[in-house]
Structure 1
């Protein structure tokens, strides 16, 4: 058999603000993110294996992405921990809000790189992360490809 790519899609709601940005996105706002995760590998060919014919069980991929991305980011607000937004983050946390202090500017471009590392680190050795697509709006998205990232 040959190599196959499979994709699972996820949605989550996340707020953020871009410190120092010269447009409206400097204000706290949110998006309905859509994340498509594509992995690549060879289907299991052992007919006695419980996952016979699968590259990876979609349920196993879902578990990884939910634990690493969806559960922490859904209905949370992401701020750059190296910005004055830290004060706002502390205030929100004190009022029971979920906050993520990232060591990067929380743009789609930077978030997708963070997501790629988190997901790739959890995949079985025989499965590789092929690509991610993080859709911020209906017309705007960032893409990450393993082939571009050596």
Structure 2
């Protein structure tokens, strides 16, 4: 029994979570985070688009590969200060957005939001907006 017929045109948001380990120290900050320390970062990527011919926004495996190749492989077990002048969670989130937004657009979806958490209680949300 088919519960719902296939209907394209619905816009949906696809969500995929990742994690990576990295160390940093905040050179423009005065407090305990100016010393070298590490985090288990948690990244959530949200993309939006219409259902395709397979009734998916995007294949989870395709999104996973893109994020792993363009972001995780570069950041995991890295010293973030070698990649960023001031490796705050905010700056890393902007960089992740820049790595993903164009390639995702080429796949026919739009990067809506990323969340980047450096601890269980501290993180940022970035939507690609410029102030």
Aligned to 1:69: 71
CA distance in 2 between counterparts of 1:141 and 1:21 reads 17
Unmatched segments (≥5 aa) in structure 2: 1-8
Q: Secondary structure at the match of 1:19?
A: coil
Aligned to 2:117: 135
Within 5 Å, give how 1:36-55 maps onto structure 2. Answer: 36-44=44-52, 46=53, 52-55=54-57
Aligned to 2:80: 78
Aligned to 2:92: 111
Shift of 1:57: 0.4
Aligned to 2:103: 122
CA distance in 2 between counterparts of 1:36 and 1:68 reads 14
CA distance in 2 between counterparts of 1:126 and 1:149 reads 23
Shift of 1:132: 0.2
TM-score for the superposition, normalised by structure 2: 0.87
Q: Secondary structure at the match of 1:72?
A: helix
State the number of aligned residues. 122
TM-score for the superposition, normalised by structure 1: 0.77
**Alignment of 1:19 onto 2:21:** no
Shift of 1:121: 2.1
Aligned to 2:4: none
Shift of 1:17: 0.8
Moved over 2 A (4+): none
RMSD (CA atoms) = 1.5
Unmatched segments (≥5 aa) in structure 1: 47-51, 80-99
CA distance in 2 between counterparts of 1:125 and 1:31 reads 31
Shift of 1:125: 4.7
